Structure 1
Amino acid sequence: MSHLSKGLENCKLELTNRLVFPPMATAKSDNGMVSKEMLDYYDEKSKGGYFSLIIIEHSYIAPQGKASKGQLSIAEDCNMEGLKKLAEVIHKNGSKAIMQINHAGSAAKMEVTGYENVSPSAIINPLIKSDLPKELTKEEIKEIIEYFKVAAKRVKEAGFDGVEIHSAHSYLLDQFYSPITNKRTDEYGGDVLGRIKIHLEVINAVKEAVGNDFPILLRLGACDYKEGGTTIEDSKIAAVEFQKAGIEILDISGGLCGYMVPDKVNEQGYFSEITEAIKEVASMPVILTGGITEPEAAEELVASGKTDLVGIGRAAFKDSMWAKNAIESLK
């Protein structure tokens, strides 16, 4: 049996293999609601259960945090019927289903949301190049934490197997994590521990909503790859704290650089230096996504101990049979 075909031990999520279909925005929702087109898409991608874990694209927790038109909503109770159907489609195909919940912060645009965009500090988003955002007050931070809590409760009630908190790709929690976009002088700014204070409060609030037995994942934009931005050392500190707080799986991606790594776009598993470093200090499983297109490369990344789970994004987007073919080719 290949390393990819093995499941994870000591994990609340009972996964049959190491392959993950990562969250990728499809813009297939119908004004935030689950559409037939979206159900068909996830049915196709999860067919056969060859991806042990399917992470649904980021869903906005509040109208102000909507990132784009066509984005899925977890902000309203009226979407629950559709979300239940979405979980059922994936389950009937044999995969576990996770919903990713998000607030776009300064990456949101008023023409999409109808609201002024917000951020930890009044700094233009360097990745999205949006309007100058309003700096959040402490009271507004508490409101956003509550939005995450209520959204996570909906995820559980819809029948999903866990929830993933989005803190990557220049969205709100990532904006708090990065010293480039977080210049606050209160307890939500400063060193790494200050900049992840909101993360820890979101995790605690989500746990209150879903209980200790419902898996909570976190996608971390671990490094900005920009001068003055987050570093691997920051991610190691953050990872330890997230594990203490109860994160079940840490999903690694980019920060203000987006989901790519400068100068490494042709390297398979280009965030592997980060996952490898995090595995030295934390024992929770990590997901590595980034440019992995060949089964042999995925197998080697797991076998070498650089990651526990492998996310296959663009390759699986292009070829829905990628996971099936990969598992069969490595037997």
Structure 2
Amino acid sequence: MTYLLKELNDCKLKLSNRLVFPPMATAKSDVDGKVNEGILEYYDEKSKGGYISLIIIEHSFITSEGRANKGQLSIADENNIEGLRKLADTIHNNGSKAVMQINHAGSLTTKEKTGFDIVGPSSIINPRGKEIPRELSKEEIKEIIKSFKLAAKRVKEAGFDGVEIHSAHGYLLNQFYSPLTNKRNDEYGGNILGRIKIHLEVIKAVKEAVGEDFPVLLRLGACDYSEGGNSIEDCKIAASEFEKAGIDILDISGGMLGYIIPGLNEQGYFYEVTEELKKVVSIPVILTGGVTDINAAENLLASGKADLIGVGRAIFKDSLWAKRAIEILKTNR
């Protein structure tokens, strides 16, 4: 039995196999964040043949204040919808599903990049950042939630198959989730339920914008792997709440240290987390992190550590990786 070739049918997002190309920033966008020929050619090359069931587009900023980098895609206004529709169509025409990831950088950016003072849940420097942010007011939090809602609406209008909310790698929602950067004394801080209050409000707003039938994913930087950071137990509580709120797929990655675990090189970096999460949620879980070998992907699925496998850097370096992997599995089936 080849686990990677199994269809995913018990979810709103129907997939032809269990292989995912996770969001990876390319910095190929125009200065204003619009889709250009470079972006279209890149995703055309990666999705060619439909060997990857799901392509999750690199994180796109929901508002100029939340821009992480120059060259980052924008979902911040209506002017980008036409270009994004071309991008979704390109991936669909190759036989893959396409989901767009939406994000606010929070304190993981600079005033030079955005033109605005940087913000965060608390006035604490991001472990991966350079500047001390200004603490967000409750009114500003409401505006950011509204920006996520409008961005999700644009994703659907552009013809994507789903939207992914980004709360990993030290960006804004991850900053609220982590006790390393969230020292608030109001309802958006404190215990894990307080720290994910903004997530639940974003999920609610996004679902209001896109409707119940449109798949909503959430990428979570589950653990911080730092003293005083989030634990697997925190993650289990959060994941259960996200499922109740209507998240359809959980996409697990790293937290405030980024997409790695220091000192760990084993393929499927975050399998200890996804294995535990599968004990408390019934929705599909994506595992990414250092997977370069098709047999490793098969073993991670076979052992129940995840439902879907994200292969990023291997496909980033070699666009034919998925084609060879799928063909090998079909030959051995």
Shared fold (TM-score, shorter chain, > 0.5): yes
Which amino acid is 1:137 matched to?
S
Partner of 1:311: 310
Partner of 1:301: 300
Displacement of 1:9 after TM fit? Answer: 2.8
Superposed CA offset, 1:87-116 (max 9, x none): 000000000000000000001211110000
* 1:270 maps to 2:277: no
Kindly indicate whether the alpha-carbon contact (under 8 Å) linking 1:64 and 1:108 is maintained by their aligned counterparts in 2.
no
- RMSD of aligned residue pairs (Cα, Å): 0.6
Superposed CA offset, 1:167-223 (max 9, x none): 000000000000010000100000000000000000000000000000000000000
* 1:147 maps to 2:172: no
Partner of 1:220: 220
Displacement of 1:327 after TM fit? Answer: 1.2
Displacement of 1:328 after TM fit? Answer: 1.3
Partner of 2:248: 248
Which amino acid is 1:107 matched to?
L
- Aligned pairs for 1:108-119 (under 5 A) are 108-119=109-120
Partner of 1:324: 323
Structure 2 residue matching 1:251: 3-state secondary structure: strand
Partner of 1:73: 74
Superposed CA offset, 1:217-243 (max 9, x none): 000000000000001111000000000
Q: Aligned equivalents of 1:203 and 1:288: distance in 2?
A: 21
Structure 2 residue matching 1:73: 3-state secondary structure: coil
* 1:134 maps to 2:134: yes
Partner of 1:210: 210
Which amino acid is 1:263 matched to?
G
Q: Aligned equivalents of 2:9 and 2:231: distance in 1?
A: 29
Which amino acid is 1:104 matched to?
A
Q: Aligned equivalents of 2:263 and 2:272: distance in 1?
A: 14
- Aligned pairs for 1:7-156 (under 5 A) are 7-31=7-31, 32-128=33-129, 130-156=130-156
TM-score, scaled relative to structure 2: 0.98
Displacement of 1:8 after TM fit? Answer: 1.2
TM-score, scaled relative to structure 1: 0.99
Partner of 1:197: 197
Q: Aligned equivalents of 1:327 and 1:125: distance in 2?
A: 40
Q: Aligned equivalents of 1:80 and 1:173: distance in 2?
A: 24
Superposed CA offset, 1:133-187 (max 9, x none): 0000000000000000000000000000000000000000000000010000100
Q: Aligned equivalents of 2:253 and 2:85: distance in 1?
A: 28
Partner of 2:162: 162
Kindly indicate whether the alpha-carbon contact (under 8 Å) linking 1:15 and 1:53 is maintained by their aligned counterparts in 2.
yes
Which amino acid is 1:241 matched to?
E
Q: Aligned equivalents of 1:171 and 1:72: distance in 2?
A: 16
Superposed CA offset, 1:3-52 (max 9, x none): 00001131011100000000000000012000100000000000011000
Q: Aligned equivalents of 2:124 and 2:83: distance in 1?
A: 37
Name structure 2 gaps, 5 residues minimum.
none
Which amino acid is 1:230 matched to?
N
Give runs of ≥4 in structure 1 deviating > 3 Å: none
Which amino acid is 2:81 matched to?
M
Kindly indicate whether the alpha-carbon contact (under 8 Å) linking 1:192 and 1:234 is maintained by their aligned counterparts in 2.
yes
Q: Determine what percentage of the aligned residue pairs are the same residue.
A: 72
